[in-house]
Amino acid sequence: METKFSEVKNYVNGSFTANGQDKMDVLSPLTGEVISTMPLSTEKDLDDAVKAAEAAYPAWSGMPIKERVQVFFKYKTLLEENIEELATLIHEENGKTIGEAKAEVEKSIELTEFACSMPQLIGGEVMEVSKGVECRIEHKPLGVVASIAPFNFPNMVPHWTLPNALVLGNTMVLKPSEQVPISANRIAELLKEAGLPDGVFNIVNGDKAIVEAICKNPGIKAVSFVGSTKVAQIVYKAATGTLKRCVALGGAKNHLLVLPDAHLDMTASNVVASMSGCAGQRCMAAAQMIGIGPVDHIVEKMCEEARKIIPGENLGSVISKQAKERIERYITDAENAGAKVLVDGRGCTVEGKEGGFYVGPTIIDHVTPDMAISKEEVFGPVVSIIRTKDLDEAIDLENSSPYGNAAAVFTQSGGLARQVMDRASAGMIGVNIGVPVPREPFSFGGWNDSKFGVCDITGKSSIEFWTQLKKTTTKWNPDAKTNWMS
């Protein structure tokens, strides 16, 4: 069958590999049509990729970091030159709008730019620790590492890991989401064009079977994972069970605490943009607003803002038919349990794209903490509103969530904002900002069930994850006094 995009392939040792194995269809969520096919790789395919990465490792890790980084200077320029095409691929396979897709690539560019500054950040340390004796500390790479990605950012999430891990001297196997595998093939082409040696970056496509194989492959030294909490736990246990280093980012249920003194326009537009951007399929999206005291004026303005959002124009699709059904089920269950649907995105279709998986913006008021919609991750353009009488009750509610990716507060009071900054149980806090994603060089990572493992996945924190410390003690002067410390 002729498809819009050519067949997705694995990428091993600098070449796209012929696919003899089983295939899976890749659907466009914009139309529901098959736009490509993707290989369901086998353990043997993974072994081949790991062997290629192992073979490339000595030369790549042996190169001075100032030379490795040159590839990424060129690569950053290539991302900039190809931004339109890369954004189109994201739009087609993920369903987000072209504007959102471009913003995603811009973030990949920023992540690459950060990796280019790595030589300035990991200078190492040296000190004369006793007469004639010097200690030196250096960050050394780990070897072959793996990166496992989710569907919601086909271009950006791979860039959370690949530029930093590679600049620091590791070689990598990437496992893209089987729902959005197209972007990664283009990333591989651009890395090659930038001069990345063959074998340093490899792609193995597939589903959970490949993830399981990655976790137990003895050649892989570290695994980074981004996806749902359920799978993050499985991966963290499996990877550390075979004594690998692992950081596994999970799902989220982000709470936005809104006080009555919050700036009306800024708050309403921020909360609505946060819940509806990328059709709510962001781990940093506003999922639950906690309205503290009299906030009807803000809720009213939010509804006005939400009605300006038109599916197919400034709102993309969700990823699949199953996702659409799941999101609509949460809304209906909440309504049946007594919540009030103020703006209803159910049953939405887009003219000319009737097969697409669209859900309109949805605002549900008077949700209670016992409802599934207030506890579980919905991952759609939906915000539920819980009302509380005071800030303490709101913070208790936020703290009771098992997740802990982000939390935000909207107020004009510095003192109240400070209380939320101190007491919210989340890794990333926003003050009058609905999507508090730290930009480089600040690192990204949640708390609680939103992240398993020690380091954050980006920024300076990731240096500790992708490297190990080598400590060398040196003595050149035979006249220096010898004692047990020298």
Instruction: Output the smallest distance, CB 81 to ligand NAD, in A.
Output: 27
DSSP string for 35-46? EEEEE---HHHH
Task: Count helices and strands (H / E) in the chain.
Answer: 16, 20
Q: Distance between CA atoms of 159 and 172, rounded to whole angstroms? A: 12
Minimum distance of ligand NAD from residue 418's CB (angstroms): 25
> Are 416 and 393 a contacting pair, CB within 8 Å?
no
- Positions in 330-369 near ligand NAD (CB under 6 A): none
d(CA 334, CA 173): 42
324 neighbors 363 (Cβ within 8 angstroms)? no
> Is residue 211 close enough to count as binding ligand NAD by CB under 6 A?
yes
Report the run of H or E that residue 336 belongs to, with start and end: helix 321-336
Counting residues that bind ligand NAD (by CB under 6 A) gives 27
Q: Is 427 in the site for ligand NAD (CB under 6 A)?
A: no
Asked whether position 174 contacts ligand NAD by CB under 6 A, the answer is no
Q: Which is nearer to ligand NAD, 234 or 309 (CB)?
A: 234
Q: Is the peptide bond before 361 cis (omega within 30 degrees of 0)?
A: no
Does 252 contact ligand NAD by CB under 6 A?
A: yes
Q: Does 456 bind ligand NAD (CB under 6 A)?
A: no
CB of 308 to ligand NAD, least distance (A): 26
Chain positions 103 to 162 lying near ligand NAD, rule: CB under 6 A, are: 148-152
Q: Does 231 bind ligand NAD (CB under 6 A)?
A: yes
**176 in Cβ contact with 158 (< 8 Å):** yes
In the bound state with ligand NAD, the residue whose beta carbon lies nearer, of 211 and 386, is 211
Q: Minimal distance in Å, beta carbon 461 to ligand NAD?
A: 13
Nearer to ligand NAD, 164 or 267 (CB): 164
- Name which position in 95, 169, 251, 380 contacts ligand NAD (CB under 6 A): 251
- Please identify, using beta-carbon distances, which residue of 146 and 341 lies nearer to ligand NAD: 146
Which residues sit opposite 135 in a β-bridge?
A: 127, 473
Task: Give dist(CA 176, CA 186) in Å, integer.
Answer: 12
Burial 422-458 (b: 16+ CB within 10 A, else e): eebbbbbbbebbbbbeeebeebbbbbbbbbbbebbbb
Out of 48, 93, 178, 456, point to the residue binding ligand NAD (CB under 6 A): 178
283 is catalytic: yes
| Options 278, 283, 348, 455, the catalytic residue | 283
**What are φ and ψ of residue 149, in 5° steps?**
-115, 155
Q: Which is nearer to ligand NAD, 68 or 282 (CB)?
A: 282
Residues taking part in catalysis: 283
Binding site residues, ligand NAD, CB under 6 A: 148-152, 175, 177-178, 207-208, 211-212, 226-228, 231, 234, 249-252, 283, 377, 379, 405, 446, 450
